[in-house]
Structure 1
C-alpha cells in the first residue's frame, strides 16, 4: 500500500531530523533525485523544519525583530511546501494519465498529494505528542490527557492512510478522477500582492 510507504519515509525523515534537531541542517536525501521517494523525503523535511520554526516564533520572550525574521522563514517554507505538493500531484497525474474514468466517476475534493501532505504533518504530531507522554516534569493527569490525544492521532493516521490508498485505487480503477490545480498563492507574488507591487 502506498500509504504504508509514505509512513515509513516520513518516520525516517523525522528520525533523521532529530539526530541533529537543527532547523538549519542541510538534509542528505537518501533517495534518487526526481523519484517519488525523493519528493516525499524532501517534503517531510520541509514540514519538520517548519514545525520547529513555528515553536520558535511562539516564544513569549522573542524580540519583535527576531519574530519578523522567523515569520519570513516560515513564509518561505510554506511556499516550498506548496510547491513540492504540486510536484507530487504532477507525479500522480502522470502515473494515472492512462486510467480511463468511468461515466460514473466522481471528483475527489482533495488531491492525492493534498492528503499525503496532511499525513506528513500528522506523523509530526504523533512524534511530538509521544514525546509529551514521556516528559518527566508533568503530572499524571496531563500525561493521561496527552496519551488520550496520542491515541486519537494514531487512529487518525490509520484512517487517513486507508483513505489515501482507497483514493489511489479509485483513480486507477476509473471510479474517481483527479485534476492538478495550482495554489497560486498571491501574497508571495510581487505581481499580485498590492503591498509588493505598489512598492515598486
Structure 2
C-alpha cells in the first residue's frame, strides 16, 4: 500500500468514526500511535470533519448571532490547528527526504506534498457527503441524479489528485523536485501582527 492509499484509508476511517455520533463535540479517539504519520493524518482529517459540520451549522438562517460568533471563533481556531497539522506532515516528508540530493535543475513545486494531502482529506469528505446525497430517499430523483453526476466528477478528481501526489513524492525522492518548507505566517491570529489585536493591547 503506497502513501496515498494509506492516507485515503485513514481519512475514511476518521470520517466514519466521526459519523458514529455525528456530533461536532464528539471526542476524537485517534487509534494510531501518537505523533506517527498515521496519527497526524487521522487527527488532520478529524479537524477537517468537525470544521465541515460547523460550516453547515453556521449557515442556519435562524441561528442566534451570539452562537454564530462562537462557532466562527471555533472555526478560526480549527483553521489554525489544520495549518499546524499540515506543517507537521510536511516536516515528516522533509525528514524522510532530507538525504536526497536534488538534481542541479530540480524543479520547485508550487504546492508542498502536505498541502496536496490537505486537499485529499477534504475530498474524502466531499465524496462521503455527495454519496449520501446521491442516494437520499427523501430527495427528488432529479436531485439524486445531479448528485450522482457530481459524485462521478469527485471520484475522477480523487484519482487525478492521488496520481499527482504520488508523482510529486516520486519526483522528490528521485531528485527531480526540491523539497522546501515555508511556515504559514497567518498574521490575523498573531497578536503582534494583527493591528486590531495589537492596538487593543496597546490601549490597555
Identify the TM-score tier after normalising by the shorter chain.
Answer: over 0.9
Can you list the C-alpha shifts for 1:10-69, whole angstroms capped at 9, x where unaligned? Answer: 010001000111111111111101210010000000000100000010001111111101
Q: CA RMSD in A?
A: 0.7
Which residue matches 2:81? 80
Q: Report the 3-state secondary structure (helix = DSSP H, G, I; strand = E; otherwise coil) of the residue aligned with 2:200.
A: coil
* Partner residue, 1:131: 132
- 1:61 equivalenced with 2:62 (yes/no): yes
1:130 and 1:10 map into 2 onto residues whose CA distance is 16
Instruction: For residue 141 of structure 1, report the CA deviation from its aligned partner.
Output: 1.3
Matches within 5 A, 1:48-197: 48-197=49-198
Counterparts of 2:172 and 2:113, CA distance in 1: 10
Give the equivalent residue in structure 1 for 2:200: 199
The separation in 2 between residues aligned to 1:141 and 1:56, in whole angstroms, is 25
| Displacement over 2 Å in runs of 4+ | none
Q: Deviations over 1:75-116 (max 9, x none)?
A: 000000001100110000000000110012101110000000
Distance of 1:137 and 1:17 partners within structure 2: 23
List runs of 5+ in structure 1 lacking aligned partners.
none
Gaps of 5+ in 2: none
1:135 is displaced (CA, Å) by 1.1
TM-score normalised by structure 2 residue count: 0.97
* TM-score (norm: length of structure 1): 0.98
Size of the aligned set, in residue pairs, is 200
Match of 1:8 in 2: 9
Q: What is the CA-CA distance between 1:178 and the residue it aligns to?
A: 1.4
How far is 1:138 from its partner?
Answer: 1.5
Mapping of residues 32-43 of structure 1, within 5 Å = 32-43=33-44
